[in-house]
Amino acid sequence: MSSPSAVVVLITGANSGIGYAASKVIASASAKYHVIMASRSIEKGNAACSAIQAAGIKGTTSSIQLDVTDESSIAAAVKAIESDHGRLDVLVNNAGIASRAPTLKEQLERTFSTNVVGAAIVAEAFTPLLLKSAEPYLLHISSTLGSLSLSGEFDYGIDARAYRMSKAALNMLMVRVSMTLGKHGVKVFAVCPGLVESNLRGEGAQERSAGGKAGDPEVSGQTILRIMEGGRDADVGRLVNKDGVVAW
């Protein structure tokens, strides 16, 4: 059981990219933070957790298995966190994919299964634990690529149809969850982390860096930290990035 003064943070997809960087930034920021790094592969999750601990952090980290497309895995994680901590203060719904399956149908099915259905059922499953927190935050890691208005105006040279559709749907999920949980004190956000280095586009150097255009995922981690520390409370219920509010 964590001490009542600890802030218990759960990040899905924490073994890589933004989830890993956010875990490191948060655990480095203060001794009060305990970051539970959730990964679908417990081996990758344990390795990522150990790497952060070896880097020297003020707070603490632990690792848990959680596949957002597997209800039994989600239920087991809820049970373990309830038993270990009794509550959850911050949920960062970060796990996401950009499927490169050969057909649009497969891309849509795979991408929605993780980015929309997975995010929705993870948020639903952890809601009872969030409601036990004195200061709960629920962050959905979305993207400006899911903005309906900006997709028409700025093409960004990327079709990414299934991915864009999934993030537009995630934004709607966030609005509805915010309407419901906001009444109970949960601050709900959608967050565009910016174009940053990760495995989202592929694991080669070119894909990871988006041809050199991608920034440092620790900047995304700082944005997430600022939101959960209350620095963006004026924008609750909106799609935000590091600079402000993004148009829907």
* 67 near ligand NAP, rule: CB under 6 A: yes
Tell me how far, at minimum, the Cβ of 86 lies from ligand NAP, in Å: 24
- When the beta carbons of 2 and 73 are compared against ligand NAP, the nearer one is 73
- When the beta carbons of 116 and 130 are compared against ligand NAP, the nearer one is 116
* 15 near ligand NAP, rule: CB under 6 A: yes
| Site for ligand NAP, residues 108 to 137, rule: CB under 6 A | 114, 118
Cα within 13 Å of Cα(117), Cβ side: 11
Sheet holding 7-12, edge to edge: 60-65, 33-39, 7-12, 90-93, 137-141, 187-191, 239-240
Interface with ligand NAP (CB under 6 A), residue total: 31
Show the DSSP H helices in 131-199 as ranges.
148-153, 161-181
Task: Tell me the per-residue interface mask from 31 to 60 with ligand NAP, x by CB under 6 A, - otherwise.
Answer: --------xxx--x----------------
* 9 near ligand NAP, rule: CB under 6 A: no
Candidate residues 81, 200, 228, 246; the one interacting with ligand NAP per rule CB under 6 A: 200
Tell me how far, at minimum, the Cβ of 82 lies from ligand NAP, in Å: 19
**Cβ contact 219:242 at 8 Å:** yes
Q: Is 147 in the active site?
A: no
Distance CA 33, CA 88 (A): 12
* 12 near ligand NAP, rule: CB under 6 A: yes
Q: Is 105 in the active site?
A: no
Count the residues in the chain: 248
Q: Is 167 in the active site?
A: yes
Alpha-carbon separation of residue 202 from 99, 197, 206, 210, 211 (angstroms): 10, 10, 8, 9, 12
Alpha-carbon separation of residue 197 from 90, 202, 219 (angstroms): 24, 10, 11
Candidate residues 7, 17, 139, 223; the one interacting with ligand NAP per rule CB under 6 A: 17
Which tokens belong to 243?
């600079």
What is the amino acid identity at position 131?
A: L
Tell me how far, at minimum, the Cβ of 39 lies from ligand NAP, in Å: 6
Active-site residue list: 143, 163, 167
Positions in the binding site for ligand NAP (CB under 6 A): 12-13, 15-19, 39-41, 44, 66-69, 94-97, 114, 118, 141, 143, 192-193, 195-196, 198-200, 214
